[in-house]
Amino acid sequence: MIRRLDSRDAQFQQELSALLAFESSQDPEVDARVAAILDDVKQRGDAAVIEYTQRFDSLSAATMAELELSQAELKAAFERLPQVQKDALQAAAARVRRYHEHQKAASWQYTDEDGTMLGQQVTALDRVGIYVPGGKASYPSSVLMNAIPAHVAGVAEIIMVVPTPRGERNDLVLAAAYIAGVSRAFTIGGAQAVGALAYGTQTIPQVDKITGPGNAYVAAAKRRVFGIVGIDMVAGPSEILVICDGTTDPDWIAMDLFSQAEHDEIAQAILLCPDAAFIEKVAASIDRQLPGMPRADIIRASLTGRGALIQVKDLAEACQIANWIAPEHLELSVAEPQVWLPELKHAGAIFLGKFTSESLGDYCAGPNHVLPTARTARFASPLGVYDFQKRSSLIQVSAAGAQKLGRIASTLAHGEGLQAHAKAAEYRLDEQP
Integer Cα distance of 294 and 58 in angstroms: 29
Active site residues: 328-329
| Identity of the amino acid at 94 | A
Burial 177-189 (b: 16+ CB within 10 A, else e): bbbbbbbbbbbbb
333 is known to lie in a ligand binding site: no
Select the residue interacting with a second copy from 130, 143, 194, 344 (CB under 8 A): 344
Number of residues that bind a second copy (CB under 8 A): 128
Site string for a second copy, 107-146 (x = CB under 8 A): -x-x-----xxxxxx-x-xx---------x--xxx-----
What are the b/e assignments for 250-265, b being 16+ CB within 10 Å? bebbbbbbbbbbbbbb
- Minimum CB–partner distance for residue 184 and a second copy (Å): 18
Question: Measured from the CB of residue 92, what is the shortest distance to a second copy in angstroms?
Answer: 6
Identify whether the C-beta of residue 105 lies closer than 8 Å to the C-beta of residue 122.
yes
Nearer to a second copy, 189 or 401 (CB): 401
Q: Which of 40, 46, 57, 208 binds a second copy (CB under 8 A)?
A: 208
In the stretch 210-239, what mask flags binding to a second copy with x, by CB under 8 A? -------------xx-xxxxx--xx-x---
Site string for a second copy, 161-200 (x = CB under 8 A): -----------x----------------------------
* Measured distance CA(85)–CA(75) in Å, rounded: 14
8 Å CB contact between 229 and 195: no
Q: Which of residues 52-81 bind a second copy (CB under 8 A)?
A: none
Residue 171 CB burial class (10 angstroms; 0-12, 13-18, ≥19): middle
- x/- letters, 367..406, toward a second copy (CB under 8 A): xx--xx-x-xxxxxxx-x-x---xxxxxxxxxx-xx--xx
Residue from 248, 292, 238, 298 nearest 270 by CA: 238
CB 216 within 8 A of CB 30: yes
Nearer to a second copy, 133 or 189 (CB): 133
Span interacting with a second copy, options 60-68, 70-78, 99-107, 181-189, rule CB under 8 A: 99-107
- The span of 12-20, 50-58, 160-168, 420-428 binding a second copy (CB under 8 A) equals 420-428
Find the binder of a second copy among 30, 216, 293, 301 (CB under 8 A): 293
Q: Which H/E stretch holds residue 223? A: helix 216-225
Q: Are 22 and 327 contacting, i.e. CB atoms less than 8 angstroms apart?
A: no
For 221, other C-beta atoms within 10 Å of its C-beta total 30
Q: How many residues does the chain have?
A: 433
- Residue 151 marked in a binding site: no
Closer by beta carbon to a second copy, 67 or else 383: 383
Nearer to a second copy, 261 or 271 (CB): 261
Q: Is 307 in the site for a second copy (CB under 8 A)?
A: no
Q: What one-character-per-residue DSSP string does 108-131 give?
A: EEEE-TTS-EEEEEEEE-SEEEEE
- Least distance to a second copy, CB of residue 352, Å: 4
Q: 289 labelled as ligand-binding?
A: no
Stretch of 63-71, 158-166, 188-196, 407-415 lying at the interface with a second copy (CB under 8 A): 407-415
Strand, helix or coil for residue 78: helix
Contact positions with a second copy (CB under 8 A) in 241-280:
249, 251-252, 255-256, 258-259, 261-263
Minimum CB distance to a second copy, residue 6 (Å): 26
Rounded to a whole number of angstroms, the minimum distance from the CB of residue 46 to a second copy is: 20
| Torsion angle (degrees, nearest 10) of CA 117, 122, 126, 130 | 160
Q: Which stretch in 48-56, 70-78, 190-198, 363-371 sits in contact with a second copy by CB under 8 A?
A: 363-371
Phi, psi of 234 (to 5 degrees): -95, 110
| Count of CB atoms situated within 10 Å of the CB of 123 | 12
Minimum Å gap between C-beta 322 and a second copy is 11
- DSSP conformation class of 13: H
Q: What count of Cα atoms within 13 Å lies in the side-chain half-sphere of residue 67? A: 32
Going by the annotation, the residues of the binding site are 131, 192, 215, 238, 260, 263, 329, 362, 416, 421
Going by the annotation, the residues of the binding site for Zn(2+) are 260, 263, 362, 421
